Chains A and B, each alone.
Chain A
């Protein structure tokens, strides 16, 4: 039972890494909190749902399309709101409120368009029969979702460390002012990071029906808490720390569900509070306390 819990924990850990990654990238580069992250994820899930049920599109195809579309939406959205936000005295706080409003808009519009019913995609789309791993039977949809997450995380890593734009992105993360002073086009770098951030949420959304069972337009806030737990554990503003956060989160979630199932839904909240209070800088360090 323990091996099964840890193994499925690792699988979900990879998936939750993907859930948190975009949020962390946006925070790391722009120092703003995209509270609509969970709603972009939800939109990705609905896109996958309709792509499958209307056109029979495979989730992988849907994921690629969602990534492109979300990046394209993200660029103008960035220029519309973020530069204006960053002029404010308390941009971080205002960003929470603004993106909270955006989240409400997205949730409401999705409810108006599609109603409140739960949507799912049959797991067999991602392969039939369980996958055997270390003597454990795992649903192949889970393994598929985890594999896609791993590829996406690797993609972000390659972007940040192997491309020119990625290196500039890291420079902005270290110091926005220094980056500005050295003539980096901070807005262009940030806009692309913003697009990638919500694109990653979209990909995570495509696989949400498989990993979470089903989705409704109202899952945004719940996803946000999970994403926050992941990135706070793994250090805010450090996209690669997200992997650590995701795995800690996934494994402890599965252990809770195995051994203490009636209290398992407490986990994300307690983990978030506990880490914020004991190691507010995350497991890899950065100060967020005041006074």
Chain B
């Protein structure tokens, strides 16, 4: 299968842009948030776009990563890079524990994954676990605070995630995942090991969220369980992906650029107006453009990276 050059060029361009921007634009936190959602949307795209499982509880892996990082630093005095590995491991372990959820079909999976993320949040924020997690009182990791370095690590994770999506879009493995999404029985008869393949996609997707959660904890250094497990993070990643168009590289990028751009323009001061806008957008999208913005092009036969 030949690599579509557009994919690689687009991915590289966005990575280069986000790497250069801090030297010309001073609001690093805003840039970090963009990197975070660019990565999370693609991480969700790996699962939703390629296998059709919509994880409403995607934030659970993000939160697990953030708390994996925090606990490693707070309780074991780990340095930031080892703590990032713990963050990744925490998300992957959570994904392994939650693997039975993959037996559920569409709607049930979406809701059960949300319930699972909520359950993890309720455990971590429980005052009874204050010794380990600091419960609802939040964590402070100022000892490892390194905004510049953590920003570039985040860009690195983003680059890796983009590469993963480009590979899925250009590999047999990615095709096989899409076959599973379309029909599990036909996919099985085509020789695709349905259970094994979708497990791999699930773990990869969780890994991305865990790494982003870890680097979020590192960059922001003071946070609460409500921040790390904010369902709004799942919602944003989902909406951005759907808005632009899943299974493509362009779609989630467009979704973040447009919607998160609008959010930062008006959403922070009057979040309810932003909520009203994206609620309306979602309804309109499902009714008129169920495959996202990019389908305006793809249904005219134009290839989109």
A binding-site residues for B, Cβ under 8 Å: 33, 81, 84-85, 88, 90, 92-98, 100-109, 111-112, 221, 224-225, 228-229, 232, 262-263, 265-266, 268-270, 272-273, 276-277, 280, 288-291
* Chain B residues with CB under 8 A of A269: 115-116, 118-119, 122
Min distance, Cβ B72 to any Cβ of chain A, angstroms: 25
Determine whether the beta carbon of B279 is less than 8 Å from that of A291. Answer: no
Between A and B, 7 residue pairs with Cβ closer than 8 Å are A90-B106, A98-B283, A98-B287, A101-B282, A104-B235, A112-B273, A263-B128
A residues near B278, Cβ cutoff 8 Å: 101, 104
Cross-chain contact of A105 among B106, B108, B115, B276 (Cβ < 8 A): B276
CB contact list, B247-305 vs A, under 8 A: 272-276, 278-283, 285-287, 290
**Chain B residues with a Cβ under 8 A of chain A:** 52, 54, 100-101, 103-108, 110-112, 114-116, 118-119, 122-123, 126-128, 184, 188, 194-195, 231, 235, 242, 272-276, 278-283, 285-287, 290
- A270–B122 CA distance with the chains assembled, in angstroms: 11
* Closest B residue by C-beta to A277: B100
Query: Given known contacts A81-B287, A84-B287, A280-B104, is B114 in contact with A105 (CB within 8 Å)?
Result: no
Q: How far is the CA of A280 from the CA of B107 in the complex (A)?
A: 12
Q: Cβ of A262 and Cβ of B282 under 8 Å apart?
A: no
Shortest distance between the CB of A54 and any CB in chain B (Å): 23
Given A105-B280, A269-B119, A272-B112: A289 in contact with B105 (beta carbons within 8 A): yes
Which residue of chain B has its CB nearest to the CB of A287?
Answer: B105
Q: Verify B54–A96 contact, CB threshold 8 A.
A: yes
* Chain A, residue nearest B195 (CB): A291
Question: Once the chains bind, are A277 and B119 in contact (CB under 8 Å)?
Answer: no
Bound complex: CA of A280 vs CA of B123, how far in Å? 24
A233 to B188, CA, bound (A): 31
Q: Which residue of B lies closest to A229 (CB)?
A: B115
With A and B bound together, what is the CA distance between A106 and B195 in angstroms?
Answer: 38
Report B-chain residues with C-beta under 8 Å of the C-beta of A229: 115
Contact: B105 with A102, CB < 8 Å? Answer: no
Contact B106 A101 (CB under 8 A): no
Which of B119, B123, B272, B286 has the most A CB atoms < 10 Å from its CB? B286
- Min CB distance B295 to A, Å, is 13
Q: Would A98 and B282 be within 8 Å (CB), given that A88-B290, A93-B106, A289-B105 are in contact? A: yes
Q: A101-B285, A262-B126 are in contact. List 5 more A-B contacts (CB 8 A).
A: A102-B279, A103-B279, A109-B276, A269-B122, A291-B194
CA distance A102 to B279 in the complex (A): 6
A82 to chain B, nearest CB (A): 11
* A99–chain B nearest beta-carbon distance, Å: 9
Shortest CB-to-CB span from B200 to chain A, Å, is 15
In the bound complex, what is the Cα–Cα distance between A200 and B236 (angstroms)?
30
> When the two chains form their complex, are residues B107 and A33 in contact, meaning their CB atoms are under 8 A apart?
yes
Given A225-B115, A225-B118: A92 touches B107 (CB 8 Å cut-off): yes
List, in ascending order, chain B residues with CB within 8 A of A85's CB.
286
Residues of chain A with a CB closer than 8 A to B126's CB: 262-263
- Contact assessment for B116 and A104 in the assembled complex, using a CB-CB cutoff below 8 Å: no
Contacts of A232 in B (CB 8 A): 108
Instruction: Give A133 to B286 CA distance when docked, in angstroms.
Output: 50
A276 contacts which chain B residues (CB < 8 A)?
101, 104, 108, 112
Q: Once the chains bind, are B272 and A111 in contact (CB under 8 Å)?
A: yes
Closest to B276 in A: A108
What chain A residues lie within 8 Å of B104 (beta carbons)? 276-277, 280, 288-290
Chain B residues lying within 8 Å of A33, measured Cβ to Cβ, are 107, 111
Find chain B residues with CB under 8 A from A104 CB.
235, 275-276, 278-279, 282
Q: Find A97's partner among B127, B231, B282 (CB 8 Å cutoff).
A: B282
A273 and B115 in contact, given A33-B107, A107-B275 (Cβ under 8 angstroms): yes
By a CB distance below 8 angstroms, the chain B residues around A221 are 231
Using known A-B contacts A98-B287, A262-B128, A273-B116, determine if residue A108 contacts B282 with beta carbons closer than 8 Å: no
Contact A98 B122, beta carbon cutoff 8 Å: no
Which residues does chain A contribute within 8 Å of B283, judged by CB atoms?
81, 98, 101-102, 105
The answer for the CA separation of A79 and B279 in the assembled complex, in Å, is 19
> How distant is the Cα of A81 from the Cα of B283 in the complex, in angstroms?
9
Q: How far is the CA of A224 from the CA of B93 in the complex (A)?
A: 28
User: Closest residue to A80 on the B side, CB-wise?
Assistant: B287
Q: Which residue of B is nearest A113, CB measured?
A: B272
Of chain B, the residue at the smallest CB distance from A101 is B282
Contact of B119 among A81, A98, A270, A289 (CB under 8 A): A270
A277 touches B103 (CB 8 A): yes
Residues of chain A with a CB closer than 8 A to B122's CB:
263, 265-266, 269
Say whether, besides A93-B107, A263-B126, A101 and B115 are in contact (CB < 8 Å).
Answer: no
With A85-B286, A88-B290, A109-B276 already in contact, the answer to whether A277 and B114 are too (CB < 8 A) is: no
